[in-house]
C-alpha cells in the first residue's frame, strides 16, 4: 500500500558555493513528469533543497507582473531565489520581508543559461518563512555535516552520482570540505564574540 505512493523528494542540504557550481541537470526516466535533478558536485542528486540564510536584498525584477528576486547569504556565498505569479505565497513573503532577515526556504533548483553560455543556478521557492538565529546556526552545522558525508563517500565504489559528478564537472571536492570547515569556524567565531560581549 505505501509502495504505491510516490515518495517525496528529500530536501538536500548544500552550501551556496557548491550549489552555484552545479549546472548539470538530468532526469532518471523518459516520463515527461519525471523529477528533474540538479547534480551536486560532491556527488548527490537534488530535486529539492532546504536552506537557511540571511536575506540581504530583494527586488521586483518583473516587467509585466511581479517577479521577486531575493539574495540569501550563507557563510560560503549567495543563493538567488526567484518567485513570481506561480509561487504566490513565496512572492508575497518576499514582498513583505524587510532585509536583513534570517529566512528558511524550501525550494526546487532551477538552471538558466545566459547569453554568454554561462549557467546560473537559482532556487524556485515552495515556501519562505522568517526564522531565528538558532535555526540558522543549526542549518549551517547540519549542512556542513551533510556536505562532509558526501565528500567522505565520494570515492566509494558504486557511488553513482559521484561518478556522474566526475564526468560532468572538473571540480575538486576538497574545496567543499574546506568550505564546510570555514562555515563551522564562522559559527565558532560568532560564539566567541558573543561570549566576550
- Residues of the shown chain interacting with another protein in the complex, contacts defined by CB under 8 A: 1-3, 5, 7-13, 48, 50, 52, 89, 103-106, 126-127, 129, 131-132, 134-135, 137-146, 148, 151-152, 177, 180-181, 184-185, 187-188, 191
For the CB of residue 145, give the shortest distance to another protein in the complex, in Å.
Answer: 5
Instruction: Kindly tell me which of 61 and 181 has the beta carbon lying closer to another protein.
Output: 181
Cβ neighbour number for residue 115 with a 10 Å cutoff: 5
Q: Which of 121, 173, 111 is nearest to 147 (CA)?
A: 173
Q: Which is nearer to another protein, 36 or 153 (CB)?
A: 153
d(CA 38, CA 161): 11
Residue number with CB closer to another protein (7 or 118): 7
Locate 182 and state its grid cell. 570555514
Q: How far is CA 138 from CA 6, 115, 125, 142, 143, in A?
A: 29, 38, 20, 6, 8
- Residue 1 has which C-alpha cell? 500500500
82 vs 154, which CB is nearer to another protein?
154
Residue 101 or residue 119: which is nearer to another protein going by CB? 101
| Min CB(115)–another protein separation in Å | 35
Residue with cell 532518471: 28
Rank residues 113 and 145 by Cβ distance to another protein and give the closer one: 145
Kindly state the smallest distance separating residue 6's Cβ from another protein, in Å. Answer: 12
Task: Provide the minimum distance between the beta carbon of 179 and another protein in the complex, in angstroms, as a whole number.
Answer: 10
* DSSP notation for 76-137: TEEEEEEE-TTSHHHHHHHHH--SSEEEEEEEEEEEEE-TTSPEEEEEEEEEEEE--HHHHH
Q: Report the 10 Å Cβ neighbour count for 66.
A: 15
Least spacing, CB of residue 95 vs another protein, in Å: 14
Omega before residue 100 within 30° of 0, cis: yes
CB of 89 to another protein, least distance (A): 8
Amino acid at each position: 500500500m505505501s509502495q504505491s505512493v510516490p515518495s517525496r523528494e528529500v530536501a538536500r542540504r548544500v552550501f551556496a558555493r557548491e550549489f552555484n557550481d552545479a549546472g548539470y541537470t538530468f532526469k532518471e526516466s523518459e516520463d515527461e513528469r519525471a523529477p528533474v535533478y540538479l547534480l551536486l558536485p560532491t556527488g548527490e542528486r537534488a530535486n529539492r533543497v532546504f536552506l537557511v540564510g540571511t536575506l540581504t536584498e530583494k527586488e521586483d525584477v518583473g516587467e509585466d507582473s511581479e517577479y521577486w528576486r531575493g539574495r540569501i547569504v550563507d557563510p560560503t556565498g549567495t543563493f538567488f531565489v526567484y518567485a513570481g505569479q506561480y509561487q504566490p505565497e513565496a512572492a508575497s513573503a518576499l514582498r513583505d520581508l524587510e532585509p536583513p532577515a534570517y529566512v528558511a526556504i524550501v525550494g526546487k533548483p532551477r538552471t538558466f543559461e545566459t547569453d554568454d553560455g554561462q549557467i546560473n543556478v537559482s532556487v524556485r521557492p515552495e515556501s519562505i518563512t522568517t526564522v531565528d538565529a538558532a535555526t540558522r546556526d543549526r542549518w549551517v552545522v547540519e549542512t556542513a555535516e551533510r556536505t562532509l558525508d558526501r565528500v567522505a563517500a565520494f570515492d566509494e565504489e558504486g557511488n553513482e552520482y559521484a561518478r556522474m559528478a566526475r564526468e560532468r564537472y572538473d571540480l575538486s571536492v576538497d574545496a567543499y570540505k574546506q568550505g564546510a570547515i570555514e562555515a563551522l569556524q564562522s559559527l565558532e567565531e560568532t560564539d566567541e564574540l558573543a561570549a566576550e560581549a
